Structure formats: structure tokens, C-alpha cells
Amino acid sequence: MSRADAYDAYFRESRSRLLHQVYAFAGSTEVAEQALADAFTAAGQHWRKLSRAPDDDSAYKDAWVRKRAFSAAEKGPRSRQPWYVTARETADDHRAVLAALGSLEPPVRKVVILRYLAGLDLSTAAREVGLSDEAAADALHTASAALGRRGLDTSPAALTATLEGLRHDLINRPVGRPSQLRREGNRRSGFHLATVGAAALALAAGAWAVTEAQVDEPAAVERPTPEPRTRPPEPEPEPEPDFTEAQLAPVAVATMLNDSEPWRLVDSSADFAITEPIDECVSSLPSSPDAQHLWVRHFAADGGAAPADATQVLEIAPSHASARLASGRLVKQFAGCAAAGHQLLSFRSIKGVGDQAFLVSLRSIDDQEFPAERVAVARSGTAVVTWIARGTTTQPVPAPKLVRVLNRSVGSVCKLAEGACAGEQVKVVDASPPPADSTRGFLTTVDLPLFPGVTRPWVATAPRQPAVNPAATRCDRADFAAAGAQDVFSRSFVIPNARFLPPYFGMAQTNGQFDSGKAAARFMQDVIADVQVCADRLRTLSVEIDEKVAFGDVTGRVWRIEVTTSADETLVFRVALLRYRDTVTQLTYTPAARADTQHSGFAAMVVPRAAQRLTQGKAQPPQS
């Protein structure tokens, strides 16, 4: 086939799909047609190079033409007019879609079109746009959030269908003649060659002059003309792993969660066929915006007064990096559950299952009893496996059994996902949960205790720079600012509109950063000394408990301070003072009779979590 015939054949074969993609990017049929015509003209100019690709390899040519068409569309009249309003050929029901796409930054819009309309994998799309894999994954995540806010269904299948629908606007558009574009490309190529030839002739004339001025040299030996170099054929890509619903757990595996009760399969979704949220803590699925597969399967136990149930989620990402981001988002959503009325009981790392795995234990508010939830998330290669097991506080699903089930599920996908499988030794260790929000260094509402009969959730104020330390008591008299601390911030926690709770109930926390660790330690010593003698200063005060604590690099003191307010009433303060390097936090909890952790609960749960949060950084300045 001649070069002209090959060009014409490629034009006829690719023009429709490329115009569709450029139209989705530009939003205007006129702009898209002109941009693509410019790109095809450039292809005609460089067809000698493009034609070296195998005839059946249109991906290389498509990427070359598409890149220039996108660039031409960006430089066209699009920026000078509201294209999605004025476009004459746009269907009315497509204007909102084009407007939503137009709100995205050009690189983000390109990644969306390449992934969901051109059908490229994330890595290939990222290279074409000039982004890293992680940046492209973040771009898709940003696009999903932005398009979702505009009312679009952002599941991969729905988004692909929406973009495919734009093809309707191009049905009656005229098709140009490839010969005209090819001739224009040849003309440009001829002009380029003439310019290069003139320059070469000038160089040759100069070389002749130099040769004439030199002493006669022996005649040059005539060398054979080298054979033209041809590009070796690219190796055939390996077939992608064949993930199917068969990789999900059967009922026999779910029964391992509690083999004393019969379990049954409630339902199992088709790929991406998710109609209901899987959990209050998870905002949306899939966690990876460019996920290739997503299945959800529900199980339930039939025995007992409060039967348990479980959910398995299997998500397949296009790359290891994308799976890493997806599992990180999922773990953060569970550990920092934004749904009101949830408490994070523990956060643990699971060693020996997949590439990385975590175990999250939560409970929530209920009128009768606290529903308990254990979540296990594992990443193995491109696969993210999640198990959510629900029970009650008195009858939770045992953590070792959930880890065993997770281990079994990872084993069914790890080889296909090209990730780590299970080792012989599986170990579960305590770990710091990921930061729940931007208030680094502070507790969050998910860290606070829940109480029987108190169904209203905790509410936290934003950290603010206080005039007076709200966490200080008359016993400790802790004054961060007077002691030289910088960046002093405080926040309070209350349960508003809760029945039977007195107005003094709540918790306050103050953080301050000192010039050095020594300065922070001196402040700690001064406050501790004040607490030790406060009963001598104030007869109505007594320090009932004075306990040293240490959590890794965090050290401190925990007190139970009582204040006699009347002959038959005593007010209790549970106070913790912790130091991490040059930063000190004070936490003061004023409980009520029916909403208290007792000292053991305060020291065992609230104080260790405050130490973990303290190590995650200092609070951000308040927003104006």
C-alpha cells in the first residue's frame, strides 16, 4: 500500500472516534473539527515517521494526532465564548455534561476522556497527558468529585455511557476529504524540505570552498550504502489477569467468622452493580476512580438474638500505585468515620497478609445497644479486599477470625493481582490511625467515648487561639501562653441537646508548642508541682489519682481531681497532661453521672488516643 493510501485508510478508520474524543474535550463541534483537521494535516506532514508503525497499530498514531488536536482545541476560540451554550449541534441533554467537563482543568479533562472514552489504562493515559500514575489517579478522583457535585453518575460504566452519548451530536457533521489534508501536509513538508535543502546547499558550498583551499587528498574510498534501519516489532502484550466474581468468598468462608451459627449468602452484586452504600463511613465506591472491577457480597448469620452480618468488597485497580491510593482512602474513611455517632475503638496493622493490611474496630450509637463493627482491609498488588463484620459490643465478631477470613480472601486473588499472598506468620499490632481531619494534634469526635442512653453525637469546635486555657482547672492552673508557648490552640467537645446531661459536661483540649523540648519539660514540671500542692492551697480540692503514663515518645501525667461544690455534691475532673518533644497537650474531661468512662476507661482509651494524635502534628491556623 502506498503512503497516500495508508494515510487515507487511517483517516477513514480513525476520524470518527478521534472527533468524538476531541469534541468531548472541546465541547464544540466547530472547534473539534478544526482542531482535528489541523492535527491530521500535521500527520500528513510527518506521515513518513508515523507510517513506520505497524498498520494494525493505530494506538501510536491516535496518540500522536489526539495530542495535537487537544492542543489546537485549547488554543482555539473556546476560551473566548461560552461554547457549550452557543454550540448549534449540541443536544439539550448534553449541555449539562459538556458544562461539567468544561469545569475541569484541561489535564484532568484529558485524563477523564482518555480513560473512560478512549479506553486507555491509567498508566498509558498518564504518559500521554504527561503525568505520573499517582497524579493521574488523583486527577480522576478530583474529576469524580467535581462531576458528582454537578449531578453526574461517576461510576466508571455510567461515565463511559455518558461520554459515549455525545456521539449523537456528531451524526450529521460533514466528513472532510483526506486527500485535501494530506496535500496540505505534503505542501508543508515540501516547504520544510526546501528550507532544509537550501541550508544544506549553503553548507555544501562552504565545504567545497574549504576543500579547494586544502592540499590535494587521496580520493575517498566509496562506502556501501547502509541498509535502512527498521524498527523491530513490539512484543505482544501479555493478556490481563482474568478477574471474575469467582474470586469472592463463598458462604463457607463467611461461616469462619462464627462457625457456631449458620450463615447464608444474602446477595452478590454484578461487576460495578452497586445500588446501596456498603457502610455509613464510606462515602462512595469504588475507592479508585479508575477501578477495573468492583464486586460486593453480603452474608448474614441466622442464629442468636442479635445475628451478625458481613460484607465483602473486592476492588481491582489498574496498577499497584492506584491500588495503594485506593486502599489508603478506604482505610482513612473507616478510621476517621465522618458519620455522626461513631467511635474508633482500635486501629491495628496486620503483618503477613498481602502487601499491607489493617484492622479497624468501631462502635456506634443505638437506642438498645452499641452496634460493633470490625473492618479488615488488605491490599495485594492491584487488588483491594475489604471485610466488614457487624455484631454488638457484647457479641462482636472476634478479631482473629476476621483476620483469618481476610487472609483466605487475599489468597484467592493475590496471584492474579501480582501481589503478596499470606505468609506463615500473621501478626496483629497496634498502630496510629491516620489523621482524621486537618486538626492535627487534636482528638476528633471519632476518638470520644459513647454512653448508654445518650444517642446524640459529639460535636467538636474548630481549634482557636484562646484568651484563657479552657482545659485548665483551679488545681493545675496551666497557662501555656504565660509559660512561653507559641501556637497555642484549644478546642472543645460537647453533646448538644442531650437529655439528662448537665451543662458542665464536656471535654476541652489545649495544645501549645514551646521553643524546645527542655522548655516543654519545664512547663510540665511546673504544672505537676502545682497539682501536688493544690489541696494545700484550696481545701475544696483533692487529687484522688496521680498516675504517670508513657506511650512511645509521649510521656505525661493523668489525674482525677475532685472539687466539693456543696455538702452533698462533688464535681470530678479527669485531666491528662502529655508532652511530645516540644509540644504539650492538656485534656480535661468533666463527666456526668450517666456519661462517664471512669478513670480506667479515660486512661486506657482517651489518653492513649490523645497521645497518638499529638504525634501527628500541630493544629492548623484557624481559617478567617
pLDDT, tens digit, for every residue of 391-429?
887 788 999 999 999 999 999 999 999 999 987 789 999
Kindly report which listed range (181-185, 284-288, 513-517) carries the lowest average pLDDT score: 181-185
Give the contacts of 236 (CB within 8 A, at least 6 positions apart): none
pLDDT in tens, 566-613: 777 889 999 999 999 999 999 999 999 889 999 999 999 999 999 999
For 310, the grid coordinates are: 458481613
Q: Which CATH number fits domain 245-430: 3.40.50.1860, 3.40.1000.70, 3.40.50.300, 3.30.470.10?
A: 3.40.1000.70
3-state secondary structure of 426: strand
226 against 274, higher pLDDT? 274
For 204, the grid coordinates are: 555544501
Residue type, 5: D
For 505, the grid coordinates are: 459536661
> 294 and 286 in contact (C-beta within 8 Å)?
yes
- CA–CA gap between residue 439 and residue 512 (Å, rounded): 14
pLDDT at 186: 59
pLDDT at 614: 95
The whole-number average pLDDT for the span 533-552 is 92
The whole-number average pLDDT for the span 486-497 is 94
CA nearest neighbour of 607 among 586, 579, 576 = 576
What DSSP element (H or E) covers 551? strand 541-551
- CA–CA gap between residue 415 and residue 381 (Å, rounded): 9
pLDDT at 93 over 90: no
- CA–CA gap between residue 444 and residue 614 (Å, rounded): 12
3-state secondary structure of 460: strand
pLDDT in tens, 340-384: 999 999 999 999 999 999 999 999 987 667 889 999 999 999 999
Residue 201: half-sphere exposure toward Cβ, Cα within 13 Å: 6
- CA–CA gap between residue 8 and residue 178 (Å, rounded): 6
Mean pLDDT of the chain: 84
> 460 and 444 in contact (C-beta within 8 Å)?
yes
State the distance between the two ends of the chain, measured CA to CA, in whole angstroms: 68
- CA–CA gap between residue 141 and residue 151 (Å, rounded): 16
3-state secondary structure of 371: strand
- CA–CA gap between residue 42 and residue 38 (Å, rounded): 6
What DSSP element (H or E) covers 24? helix 3-26
- CA–CA gap between residue 368 and residue 527 (Å, rounded): 42
CA nearest neighbour of 561 among 536, 585, 584, 589 = 589
> 570 and 564 in contact (C-beta within 8 Å)?
yes
pLDDT at 150 over 80: yes
Number of H helices, E strands in the chain: 17, 15
pLDDT at 24 over 50: yes
- CA–CA gap between residue 402 and residue 21 (Å, rounded): 46
In CATH, what class is 445-614? alpha beta
pLDDT at 213: 40
pLDDT in tens, 184-242: 655 655 544 444 344 433 433 343 333 344 434 444 444 455 555 555 555 544 444 57
pLDDT at 568: 77
φ/ψ of 427, rounded to 5, equals: -130, 135
The whole-number average pLDDT for the span 323-331 is 95
At 311, is the pLDDT very low, low, confident or very high (cuts 50, 70, 90)?
Answer: very high
What strands, in cross-sheet order, belong to the sheet with 541-551?
A: 459-460, 486-494, 506-513, 583-590, 569-580, 554-566, 541-551
CATH 3.40.1000.70 residue window(s) in the chain: 245-430, 445-614
φ/ψ of 81, rounded to 5, equals: -155, 150
pLDDT at 189: 52
Beta bridge partners of 247: none
> 494 and 445 in contact (C-beta within 8 Å)?
no
Beta strand spans in 272-341 (E) = 293-301, 309-316
**Backbone dihedral region of 589: left (phi > 0), alpha (psi from -120 to 50 degrees) or beta?**
beta
- CA–CA gap between residue 147 and residue 109 (Å, rounded): 11
- CA–CA gap between residue 302 and residue 437 (Å, rounded): 38
> 379 and 414 in contact (C-beta within 8 Å)?
no
| Alpha-helical regions (H) of 307-451 | 320-335, 399-411
pLDDT at 307 over 50: yes
In this structure, are strands 293-301 and 506-513 parallel, antiparallel, or unpaired? unpaired
> 169 and 91 in contact (C-beta within 8 Å)?
yes
- CA–CA gap between residue 432 and residue 349 (Å, rounded): 9
